[in-house]
Amino acid sequence: MQTSAPTATADQTVLPSVPNPAGGSHDLLDVDPGDRRTAFVGRLEIAWDPRILEPRPWTAEQSRWAARLLTTLPPGPVLELCSGAGHIGLLAVAGTRRELVCVDREPVATAYAADNAARNGIGQQVHARTATIEQVAEEPTRYALVIADPPWVPSAGVDRFPEDPPGAIDGGPDGTDLAVACVRTAARVLLPGGALVLQLGTGEQATGAVADAAAAHGLTVDEVRPCLGGVLVLLR
Ligand SMILES: C[S@@+](CC[C@H](N)C(=O)[O-])C[C@H]1O[C@@H](n2cnc3c(N)ncnc32)[C@H](O)[C@@H]1O
């Protein structure tokens, strides 16, 4: 494990208190300049390309809620599941001393998350890893806060979003397959007193399959907050 000051990469760098990275490379970001996009999400400049989901501006609301929670949560790092380009987690921890671990199963996504941390000057507190939601549950690191933005579109509706990579939005028959996986993992990796801020498409998803999974794994739904493009759910 590295002891010198770390920087944000998706390949070799290790924060002192979080698990080793699982690979990835900045070669993945060598795309045709015409495909490269950047936009501000909150105060952060975020880069991506069409291989991953375009950051949706309203999701900054998830970051703001997470940032407010961090002022009262126990000490400990933050985990972002299904990070994509990483903007939700980055915006939540920017201006704090919390370490952030961004996890996505797509190496391109974690390469962008690392790159976006570095371009916003917070590379030293961010570690991006390519892994699945389920793999994180098997690791020993414990987190004060989990932020999760799983695919939540029901499979039958994925065709309505032809611009979006299907793997980034397809949440299974009722849209909750990956959200339930996030609840399961959060229940395993949260520190006592920790919290999960989960993004979903509808309130029905929150009160149905997600609430059932939470109850089965020792978490409770504290608040469901409707937003412009979906709903945010706080679980403790
Ligand atoms: C709705 S997108 C969210 C991305 C980003 N948070 C955003 O707002 O643009 C869901 C992300 O989950 C990732 N994903 C899907 N299934 C996953 C799994 N089983 N484990 C880890 N990541 C997964 C996808 O690659 C995608 O980047």
Instruction: Look up tokens 């390519």; give the residue.
Output: 130
Q: Which pLDDT belongs to residue 26?
A: 65
Alpha helices (runs of H) in the chain, residue ranges in sequence order = 60-70, 87-93, 107-119, 133-137, 166-169, 177-189, 203-205, 211-216
**Does 173 map to a domain?**
yes
**Cα dist. 91→123, 180, 196, 210, 236 in Å?**
13, 24, 16, 25, 21
Q: Which pLDDT belongs to residue 27?
A: 87
CATH code: domain of residue 99? 3.40.50.150
**Does 8 map to a domain?**
no
Question: Given the CA of residue 59, which atom of ligand 1 is nearest to it?
Answer: 8
**Does 157 map to a domain?**
yes
149 close to ligand 1 (CB < 6 Angstrom): yes
Q: Which of 81, 88, 105, 133 to mutate to test the pocket of ligand 1 (most atoms within 8 A of CB)?
A: 105
60 C-alpha vs ligand 1 centroid, how far in Å?
16
The residue nearest atom 5 of ligand 1, judged by CA position, is: 84
**Does 124 map to a domain?**
yes
**Does 67 map to a domain?**
yes
**Does 198 map to a domain?**
yes
What's the domain range around 170? 29-235
Binning pLDDT at 50, 70 and 90, where does residue 25 land? Answer: low
Task: Tell me how many domains the chain contains.
Answer: 1
**Does 72 map to a domain?**
yes
pTM over cut 0.85: yes
Q: Which pLDDT belongs to residue 207?
A: 94
Better-predicted residue by pLDDT, 20 or 44: 44
